[in-house]
Amino acid sequence: MRTHIRLSRLSLLLPLALSALFPGNSQGQTTTPPPDCIFFINATLTAGSPATISYPTNQVTGVVGFDNRTLACQTWTFSYVATATSGTITSLAFQSASGAISPGSYSNWGGTVATGINPNTSSVQATSTFNTGCASMMECNVVDAWVKILLTRNNFVGTIQGVLYGYRTGYAHSGGGGGGGSTRTVNLYYAPAAKDINGVGSSVFQCASSCGIPTAIASGTTVTAALDVTGTMNNQDQFIVPQGYGNQTVSIEVVFRSADNTGGHNATGAFTSVTVGADGDIVSPTFGNATTLTLAPSSTAEGRTVVTGTFTPSPSWTPGDTAYWKVVWTQNTLTSALEVLSVRFYATF
């Protein structure tokens, strides 16, 4: 009996799969970037296989599901092909869970089934797409910290090959109108707020004083490292403005959580930024582009929440310049620490 997912084959399968799933248009009108989240299913099922099987399942730790806590993908596509020797499938369901440390209980996707159905019931092939159903650039509390595919096998004997892939903000399409160039959403900056170095929490961001406290990934668990904020704390970092950027609107995304899930309680993250060219004043540049995000935790205790805000840089940002950003975190009315998981700046161009 073999019922498994071969994650070790990703390095071989990914280039071929992506070229088939995300082709560029030969006329140069639309280019779909590779997904931010992806896993493959390559299962061989026998008459003795379990009645229900979850993909992916870590064969070492036993953790069930794909960890989306810091990746924060919000739009998903599930596609599969089944080749039966005998029997039929009852269903293949796209499910999610909200656990902060481990997944906990899964249920069918609570967002929008954009195309297709969920669960899928075909014993041959199917494709379905999903999104959170949340308005663009608004706080979104749809449960999606962990996702998985649940197979209810019935009497199916044969093979199933499939892929679940997702995007953090969906993928961008270029406009029509006579074959213009393509556009896509590009990360200008992305970093987890903290990491684990030999069991000790380490901040990824820079900080001079009143810094957040980095917490490590606890040994033997799947806890995500986080930057714990109490009171008022600060962070900063920098990145190089990429080629092709033409001062389009910039989005700031913060992924966070808190043990305080009381309605009305929130924290804030007040961002400012500036770019400095080769001949600029790097001693005391004037920061602008003020963008304050209200960080209201999920109604589920410790549930991961994604919040975004936007600004258009002024003065304009020029490719090749160094962009510096600062943030003042304020715990505000939260009665537990604000746990910052990641910060991202992105734009579509």
pLDDT in tens, 172-186: 433 333 444 456 778
Residue 317 pLDDT? 92
What's the CA gap between 118 and 108, in Å, rounded?
Answer: 8
Q: Which CATH class is domain 7-167?
A: mainly beta
How much is the mean pLDDT over the chain? 80
Residue 15 pLDDT? 47
Cis status of the peptide bond prior to 103, with omega within 30 of 0: no
* Phi, psi (degrees; rounded to nearest 5) at 189: -155, 135
| Equal CATH topology for 7-167 and 186-348 | yes
- For the question of whether the overall pTM of this predicted structure is more than 0.85, the answer is no
Give the pairing of strands 75-86 and 91-97. Answer: unpaired
In contact, 226 and 101? CB cutoff 8 Å: no
220's CB contacts (< 8 A; 6+ apart) are none
pLDDT in tens, 15-50: 444 454 555 544 444 456 788 889 999 999 999 999
User: What's the DSSP call for residue 98?
Assistant: -
What's the CA gap between 340 and 72, in Å, rounded?
Answer: 13
Superfamily of domain covering 186-348: Galactose-binding domain-like (2.60.120.260)
Structure tokens at 21: 């799933």
Classify each residue of 254-281 as buried b or exposed e, where b means 16 or more C-beta atoms within 10 Å of its C-beta: bbbbbebbeeebbbbbebbbbbeeeeee
Give the start-to-end residue ranges of the domains of the chain. Answer: 7-167, 186-348
Q: Is 41 buried (19+), middle (13-18) or exposed (0-12) by CB count in 10 A?
A: buried
- In sequence order, the β-bridge partners of residue 131 are 75, 112
Q: Is the pLDDT of residue 123 over 80?
A: yes
Helix (H) or strand (E) segment spanning residue 11: helix 10-21
